[in-house]
Amino acid sequence: MFQTTMIFTLFFIVSCAAKEENTGKTETAKKPVTWAEKLGYPAGKKVIMLHADDAGMCEEANIAVKQLLLDGHIQSAAAMPPCPWFEDMIEWAKAHPRIDVGLHLTLTSEWKTYRWGPVAPAEDVPGLIDEEGKLWHEVPQVVQHATPEEVAREVRAQIEKSLAMGYKPDHIDTHMGTLYGSPEFAKEFLKIAMEYGIPANAINLSDSVVAAHFKASGYPVSDELIQFMESYTLPKLDFFTSAPKGDTYEHKVEAFKQLIKSLPAGLTEIIFHPSIETDNIKTITASWQQREWEAKMFADPDLIKFFEDEGIIFTNWKEIMKRFEKMEK
């Protein structure tokens, strides 16, 4: 009897240990896998896309963006379809098919004297237009006045403008975050991305930490949007952020280094707005100095060495889609 009891006790202990081990393995397996890992990048690595916004806004932006892309100092850029230098940027992108250029879908016209209207006919998108016949200055104004249907109409018009020029954009994103200004806008944006098969800057909101971060930043991250994001069929970013400002060039570079160090492992897009310095850009925006520094800093040998020392892997939307299509087969 004693022997039988001992055997049973040993069996129970071993079974519990095995159960605990299996449970541990199950928990490990359930741990969220980053989109970088899903796409085949090494686990635990920071995979970063340095992405220039506001191409097409003005000549100064185009000059800076083109040079950074040609030199390989940044990986991606996006052009603003309603703006006067959009066609110049798209013709350049057509002549450089290996370079990643997308559309910076634009529903606002924020500057005081340098402004633009919609691509769609004004009568089709009245809620997007202010008293001057231009797009609204601020995101809350768009959310207040425009319907999701008008937003979808304008987004399609901007994509079709590029397609009519013979250029299918490598990705689409949103100027001033307007398309994430409401859950309804975001759903239209993501539906259109899937419709055209063009990846959007969609963020993996299934990670509760990431969702909480963007909610705390003021984005309307609702449970409905998080659930809808699960049905999005194109690749997602693990994180998204922007280059910090600096009081001096040196301070700005140091702040950027600290940003890189603070990022979690996974796929992150970092946006910025490079422009060359001219008298004209100074009349457009008070942020011209930050923009001029952003045209300079990514070619800075000190920052380039920092990236190497940190073991950063760089990518762009072209590479992401190649990996995604391979993953789907």
Give the Cα separation of 38 and 83 in Å (integer): 36
Q: Is the dihedral of CA 225, 313, 321, 93 positive or negative?
A: positive
Q: How far apart are the first and last CA of the chain?
A: 60
User: How is 86-145 classified by DSSP, letter by letter?
Assistant: HHHHHHHHHH-TTSEEEEEE-----SSSS----SS-GGG-GGGB-TTSSB-SSHHHHHHH
According to DSSP, residue 51 is labeled E
Return the pLDDT at 10.
34
Residues constituting the chain: 329
According to DSSP, residue 63 is labeled H
Closest CA to 298 of 97, 36, 70, 45: 70
Token duo for residue 235: 């690749």
Token duo for residue 320: 């992401």
Give the Cα separation of 128 and 149 in Å (integer): 11
Give the Cα separation of 288 and 299 in Å (integer): 18
Give the Cα separation of 120 and 81 in Å (integer): 11
Hunting for tokens 């040993």 — which residue is that? 10
Return the pLDDT at 328.
78
Return the pLDDT at 329.
76
Category of 54 on φ-ψ map: left (φ > 0), alpha (ψ -120 to 50) or beta: left
Category of 260 on φ-ψ map: left (φ > 0), alpha (ψ -120 to 50) or beta: alpha
324-328 long-range contacts (CB < 8 A, ≥24 apart) are: 324/39, 324/199, 324/234, 324/235, 326/40, 327/38, 327/39, 327/40
Contact 239, 267 (CB under 8 A): yes
**Residues of the chain by 3-state class (helix, strand, coil), percent to 5:** 55, 10, 35
Residues pairing with 103 in the sheet: 79, 172
Q: Is the dihedral of CA 117, 166, 329, 45 positive or negative?
A: negative
pTM, 2 dp: 0.89
User: Looking at domain 31-328, which of 3.30.300.30, 3.20.20.370, 3.90.650.10, 1.20.210.10 is its CATH number?
Assistant: 3.20.20.370
Return the pLDDT at 31.
58
Token duo for residue 190: 């993501």
pLDDT in tens, the chain (329 residues): 333 333 333 333 334 444 444 444 444 445 558 999 999 999 999 999 999 999 999 999 999 999 999 999 999 999 999 999 999 999 999 999 999 999 999 999 999 999 999 999 999 999 999 999 999 999 999 999 999 999 999 999 999 999 999 999 999 999 999 999 999 999 999 999 999 999 999 999 998 999 999 999 889 999 999 999 999 999 999 999 999 999 999 999 999 999 999 999 999 999 999 999 999 999 999 999 999 999 999 999 999 999 999 999 999 999 999 999 998 77
